[in-house]
Structure 1
Amino acid sequence: MDLTPETVRYVLSVLVVSLRVSGAAVAIATGISLVTAVTVAFTDFPGKRAVTTVINTGMGFPSVVVGLVVLLALSNSGPLGSLDLLFTQRAMVISQVILATPVITSVALSAIEGVDDTLQDAAFAAGGTRRDVQLVTISEARYGIVTAILAGFGRAISEVGSVLIVGGNIVLSDGTSLTRTLTTAITVEARQGNFEAGIALGGVLLVLALGVNALGSYVGRLDR
């Protein structure tokens, strides 16, 4: 397969947009998710089981529905229309945060709650405060938390529907991407019959997916 310089530049620009958007989304989602997971794990309150169920259900949010909701919120007639975010990378970040947060929260919560109770008992017996026990528990669950973040990144980088709706799949006049990601670019190139670009983009996405899965497997082995 002979890729032209223009195709290489195009593929690289799409890759940069994908990594920038997904990286920012996962960073924000991680902050929200860890606070939520720690709060739910270490706090007893009415409706805790219902909250956990909602978090787990959120892992299966249809991406196109999330994209539609964000589109309506950011449109000119929507509550956030004055921010002028529609068809920008920031709008794509918002949609990916919504999709990645339940994934990271659910996996991180399971990791924290899966820590053996004897570890907490030992920390209390050693004179540790409640905060000390929480920190020890979180430290013990660190590999599971890293796995949660990787799962969130995998959800974000492979997203198609919502980023297509709120980002607009825009390419600049010089052929570089403004809001086109790897997944949306593959869809467009395949439809247009540009198979060289499509295969190159697919190869890049496949390498990213394999890399994330390999890293997740390695972290999982460390936790054993």
Structure 2
Amino acid sequence: MTVTPAALESLPLLVAFPFESVYVRSIIAVSLYVSLLAVLASTVVSVPVALVVGFTDFPGRRFATSVINTGMGFPSVVVGLAVLFLVSNQGPLGGLGLVFTKEAMIASQFVLATPAITGISLAAVTSVDRSVRDAAYSLGGTRLDVALVTVKEARYGIATAVLAGFGRAISEVGSVLIVGGNIAGADGVSKTRTLTTAIQLEARQGRYETAMVLGAVLIVIVLLVNAVVVRLGDGGRFR
């Protein structure tokens, strides 16, 4: 499949397309809603888990670390199938009616993002010099105080972890396609269609201009989130 010269020449005319198209705006909204909530929930879970695994000696600690590292490369379609089974009519959560919903997509992206955020955060917090924690203890700090000091010192690594989790979540195709169904309503508003699944659909149907615009929007979103997270990791100072 090739992109024609005519399609390339029309690209400048499509710059305003994301702002004018209800279809594209709704896809962007669904993508951001699903991915940001999934990554936020994952971060809330992952950072405390990384602190516990990193600084607590308990039976099975090495096994827990292995599970986290293995989860970072878990196949997304397997995650999608597992979540679909859980929310299907025959599954344990079938009564909640979550099949082909944004909530199921959030659950799928949460499962995919959590190992990445946990693994990278674990590496970040364990790299903090022990003297920093010892100083916090010597000043009368509680376990929570020491944890907060550690997180502050490891904030750059944790920011990288969040970015990695967001990148995996928002770029995901297989699992969200399985649990979300890539559904758009008759009114042209996306219900469970994300940027990645829409790009796949548009490209398969030969609408390369729209697919390229959606791809450009996806890249811009990732860059903007990257900038925000990096600045937050730098103490929120924008220069």
Pairwise same-fold verdict (TM > 0.5): yes
Are the counterparts in 2 of residues 42 and 134 from structure 1 also a CA contact under 8 Å? no
Deviations 1:150-196 (A, max 9, x none): 21111111010000000000001111111000000000000011122
Are the counterparts in 1 of residues 121 and 158 from structure 2 also a CA contact under 8 Å? yes
Q: 1:99 to 1:75 in 2, by over 3 A?
A: same
Q: 1:129 to 1:151 in 2, by over 3 A?
A: same
Unaligned 5+ runs, structure 1: none
Equivalent runs, 1:2-81 vs 2, <5 Å: 2-3=13-14, 8-81=21-94
The CA deviation at 1:114 is 0.6
| 1:82 correspondence with 2:62 | no
Task: Output the aligned Cα RMSD.
Answer: 2.2
What does residue 180 of structure 1 align with?
193
What is the TM-score normalised by the length of structure 2? 0.85
What does residue 102 of structure 1 align with?
115
Taking the aligned partners of 1:123 and 1:6, their CA distance within structure 2 comes to: 50
What is the TM-score normalised by the length of structure 1? 0.90
Taking the aligned partners of 1:221 and 1:24, their CA distance within structure 2 comes to: 22
Instruction: Give percent identity, aligned residues only.
Output: 60
Are the counterparts in 1 of residues 18 and 25 from structure 2 also a CA contact under 8 Å? no
Equivalent runs, 1:181-200 vs 2, <5 Å: 181-200=194-213
Q: Which moved more, 1:184-193 or 1:131-140?
A: 131-140
| 1:205 correspondence with 2:207 | no
Deviations 1:171-223 (A, max 9, x none): 0111111100000000000001112211110110121233345556667888x
Are the counterparts in 2 of residues 7 and 197 from structure 1 also a CA contact under 8 Å? no
Q: Which moved more, 1:14-23 or 1:193-202?
A: 193-202
Aligned residue-pair number = 222
The CA deviation at 1:134 is 2.8
Taking the aligned partners of 2:36 and 2:229, their CA distance within structure 1 comes to: 16
Q: 1:135 to 1:219 in 2, by over 3 A?
A: closer
